[in-house]
Amino acid sequence: MIGVIVSSLLVITQTACVVPEEAISKGNIIGLYGGYEVEPHSIPFQALLESSDEYGDILCSGALISTNYVLTSAYCVYDLDNVTVYLGVHNRSEIDSSVQTFVATELTYHADYGFEGDYIVNDIGLIKLPEPAVLTSTVQLASLITRADYESNPNQGDINVTISGWGRIGYDDEYSDVLLAGQRYISPIEECASSDSLQLDQYICFPFKKDGTDVEGETGDTGDPLFKTVNGNRYIVALLSTVETDDFEADTNVGYYLDWIESNSDVKIN
Ligand SMILES: *[C@@H]1O[C@H](CO)[C@@H](O)[C@H](O)[C@H]1NC(C)=O
Ligand SMILES: *[C@@H]1O[C@H](CO)[C@@H](O)[C@H](O)[C@H]1NC(C)=O
Ligand SMILES: *[C@@H]1O[C@H](CO)[C@@H](O)[C@H](O)[C@H]1NC(C)=O
């Protein structure tokens, strides 16, 4: 019997906060429903969020938008005493000394978060870190969509985005150990018009593909950042939420909330 020693050391090669799409490995298709494992630390603004309430453990993602604040969905902070924030994680089972860990208690969600009819509205929240994050090769700040970009295309229709998270890799499966990502196309908002009286300004729109080839977020993916890449720079345009009709999925449109983000954090937005 020959023993095989598998090194669990991660070789860190990414040093910049801007990573070209090609740096993301496309080889390992294991989850986010159609996604793949990313190159470790290639999305260095992604925060792993863990908490628990009376119903059990909660796993979410967020994005580090300043050294003091993590942007996430309201769902991931609502009615919780504290959230544990991990920065610089690739594999959730390998939380070592390179990972920055915080137990945050200053949790904010939108004052109008909740249900309107059957649908979740204003699903956006912020976590203030108890002390500032330290920027390193594996922990970097995210950029948000600019105001000019938002105004020129309010629902970000007809662009491709990347979604990344540690959610379940299939219905009823385990959460993913490693950070996964997938590409999705945001449709023009008209394609999400529905008979329900959904107020669409606050969402971006993904009609369901009937052939099942879409990348889809699962449980544990709430708060995942959806970002686009322009000239090698990444901009967060949306956060994964859980709004679904029979025909489409709608996620939180970050551009719509830029003023809210600015007035509830220390981030300055162009
Ligand atoms: C975090 O919240 C949980 C659940 O309410 C509580 O049991 C725990 O003591 C809290 N931890 C800290 C460090 O505040
Ligand atoms: C994550 O880390 C654990 C502990 O080192 C390891 O057993 C597991 O195989 C890793 N997962 C992946 C997908 O690499
Ligand atoms: C989005 O990605 C698809 C698949 O790679 C590509 O065919 C399409 O042209 C892209 N659309 C935009 C608007 O970039």
Is residue 76 in some structural domain? yes
CA-nearest residue, atom 6 of ligand 1: 81
Is 12 a member of any domain?
no
In a domain, 15, yes or no: no
Which residues face 56 on adjacent strands?
53
Parent domain of 53: 22-268
Asked if residue 54 lies in contact with residue 79, where contact means CB atoms within 8 angstroms, the answer is no
Ligand 1 centroid–CA 189 distance in Å is 41
Q: With CA atoms as reference, report the closest residue to 198 among 187, 210, 189.
A: 189
CATH number at residue 66: 2.40.10.120
Closest CA to ligand 2's atom 9:
177
The answer to whether the beta carbons of residues 33 and 170 sit under 8 Å apart is: yes
CA of 159, nearest ligand number = 3
**Ligand 2 atom nearest residue 8's Cα:** 5
Q: Is the CB of residue 197 below 6 angstroms from any atom belonging to ligand 2?
A: no
pLDDT surpasses 80 at 58: yes
**Does ligand 2 lie within 6 Å of residue 91's CB atom?**
yes
Q: What is the pLDDT, as a whole number, of residue 23?
A: 31
The model's pLDDT over 82-111, given as tens digits with 9 standing for 90+, comes to 999 999 999 999 999 999 999 999 999 999
Q: Which ligand neighbours the alpha carbon of 180 most closely?
A: 2
Q: Is the pLDDT of residue 163 over 70?
A: yes
> Ligand 1 center to residue 84 CA distance, Å?
10
* pLDDT score at 2: 36
Mean per-residue pLDDT, 119-141? 97
- CA–centroid distance, residue 7 to ligand 2 (Å): 10
Domain assignment of residue 80, yes or no:
yes
Question: What's the rounded Cα separation, in Å, for the pair 25 and 17?
Answer: 17
DSSP string, the chain: ----PPP-PPP----SS---GGGS--S---BTTTBEEPPTTSSTTEEEEEEEETTEEEEEEEEE-SSSEEEE-GGGTTT-S-EEEEES-SBTT---TTSEEEEE-EEEE-TT-EEETTEEE---EEEE-SSPPPP-SS--PPEEPPHHHHHHSTT-TTEEEEEEE--BSSTT-PBPSB-EEEEEEEPPGGGG--SS---GGGEEEEEPPTTS-S----TT-TT-EEEEEETTEEEEEEEEEEEE-SSEEEEEEGGGGHHHHHHHSS----
Q: How far is the CA of 37 from the centre of ligand 3 (A)?
A: 21
Per-residue model confidence as pLDDT tens digits over 207-227: 887 676 777 787 889 999 999
- Our count of domains for the chain comes to 1
- Residue 69 inside a domain? The answer is yes
Give pLDDT, residue 233: 96
Tell me: pLDDT of 59 over 90. Answer: yes
Does residue 142 sit within a domain?
yes
Inside any domain, residue 52: yes
Spatial CB neighbours of 227, under 8 Å, sequence gap ≥ 6: 142, 161, 162, 234, 235, 236, 237
Q: What is the pLDDT of residues 186-206, one digit of tens each?
A: 999 888 887 677 789 999 998
Q: Looking at residues 31-35, what average pLDDT do you find?
A: 65
Picking from 156, 145, 159, the residue whose alpha carbon sits closest to that of residue 189 is 156
Would 153 be classed as within a structural domain?
yes
Question: What does the pLDDT look like over 3-32, one tens digit per residue?
Answer: 333 332 322 222 222 333 333 333 333 346
How far, in Å, is the centroid of ligand 2 from the Cα of 178? 8
Query: What is the residue type of 24?
Result: I
| Position 148 pLDDT exceeds 90 | yes
Task: Let me know: does 186 contact 205? Beta carbons within 8 Å.
Answer: yes
- Ligand sitting nearest the alpha carbon of 96: 2
Tell whether the model's pLDDT for residue 237 goes beyond 90: yes
Give dist(CA 255, CA 189) in Å, integer: 14
Cα(71) to centroid(ligand 3), Å: 27
